[in-house]
Amino acid sequence: MTALLRFAALGLPAFAVPPAHASSDPAQPNPALVDPVLANPVPESIVVLPPPPLSEAVRAMINAAIANGEDADVETVVKVAKMANPDHVAEIDALLARYRSQHPPVAPADPVGDLLAAAIASGKDADVEAVGALAKTTNPDLATEIEARLVAYRAERQRLKDEAAAAAREKLARAKFYENWKGEGQIGATLSNGNTDSTGLSAGVALARQGIDWNHKVRAQADYQRTNGQTSVERFVVEVEPQYKVSERAFAYGLGRWEQDRILGYDTRWNLSGGVGYKVVDREGLSLSLKGGPAWRQTDFTSGRHDSEITGLAGLDFGWQLSPTLRLTQVASTIVGESKTATSSLTALNAKLTGALSARLAYSAEIDSNPPPGVETVDTLTRLTLVYGF
């Protein structure tokens, strides 16, 4: 009883009975009895220890695979090492990265791709298309990939061609009339002794210029030959022909031609013509164009007689590249008048010798349906000349 009273005197809340008029708020602890350590605990510091270094056994295993130099072995060992040592993935990746920097991966062999790449590098469209078709036939599983490379090649080639065409067109637009001329000169000689003494000389020049809207051709030819002390060939021709491009194939032309051939009975012959023409065939290695229109011809004969008439002209220009070094050409025109018809034809076979030098075998024919008295209807001439292009 005495002990209980002594505890009550200390005012311990656990044993105190509140009076009837006391507040209903929950009892507050006595600050004097609160343990300061329990009331304000000091947080403990958590110390995280670093993982132990990568074991020497694992490092030795990775280094042994690296020393072996086999990519498959290195990748396999690294993969297993990372699975077994997840805390050292970064260190293992660093070892792998160092190995890859010193030993870049070797691309697997791709003979089909290498063959197609070599054809594309050559820049020859026909070779690329042939190799691509063969590759798709022999490797159907790669057909889509091969076709994609061919499509990319075609697009790039077309882009380069368009750029080159635009640059060439711009250059032509800025060029003066006396610029961008190309041409050729030819010369040949004959000498014969014995039953027939013959000496001959043949020379000619041809010029051509291509512009944006206009093309121009100029040609001059001289043939002279003496046989047994008499002149047997004496022919001179000068021809000028401008052409205006109406479309990619159609054109309008003008033609002026001066001739002299005393053997055929005339001192001077003028031909003037104008009309339209069309390129029937116009592709690489083969061309054919036709033209026609009204013409005017005036002839001064060696007899002193003069003749002038309105005629019609029809002509053709043909070229065929038989091989890289052999080309066949044919130029012909026919003038039809009231009293006669005259045809002029020149067929030539060119063989490239070296660089700009070539040899030419030419056959020309002059056909007159109503020649002067004493003159044959057909007159031919064969030439063998050296030709230099410039």
Here the tokens at position 26 are 């929950």
Q: What is the pLDDT of residues 106-119, one digit of tens each?
A: 666 788 888 889 99
Q: Where are the domains of the chain?
A: 56-102, 111-174, 181-389
For residue 3, pLDDT over 50 is answered with: no
Percent of the chain whose predicted confidence (pLDDT) is above 90: 49
User: In the prediction, which pLDDT does 28 show?
Assistant: 56
Does residue 253 contact residue 276 with C-beta atoms inside 8 Å? yes
**255, 249, 250, 181: which is closest to 211 by C-alpha?**
181
CA distances (Å), origin 199, targets 33, 192, 204, 236, 383: 148, 6, 17, 17, 13
Lowest average pLDDT, out of 32-36, 62-66, 288-292, goes to 32-36
Which top CATH class is 181-389? Answer: mainly beta
Q: What is the pLDDT of residues 228-241, one digit of tens each?
A: 888 888 999 999 99
**364, 348, 360: which is closest to 187 by C-alpha?**
360
Place 17 in a pLDDT band, splitting at 50, 70 and 90: very low
Does residue 268 contact residue 259 with C-beta atoms inside 8 Å? yes
Q: What is the pLDDT of residues 245-260, one digit of tens each?
A: 999 999 999 999 999 9
Place 41 in a pLDDT band, splitting at 50, 70 and 90: low
pTM of the model: 0.61
Can you tell me whether residue 346 is helix, strand or coil? strand
Place 51 in a pLDDT band, splitting at 50, 70 and 90: confident
For residue 359, pLDDT over 90 is answered with: yes
| Mean per-residue pLDDT of the chain | 85
Name the strand (E) or helix (H) holding 310.
strand 306-323
Can you tell me whether residue 373 is helix, strand or coil? coil
CA distances (Å), origin 132, targets 28, 109, 113, 128: 95, 18, 10, 6
Average pLDDT over residues 361-382: 89
Sign of CA dihedral 163, 169, 172, 174: negative
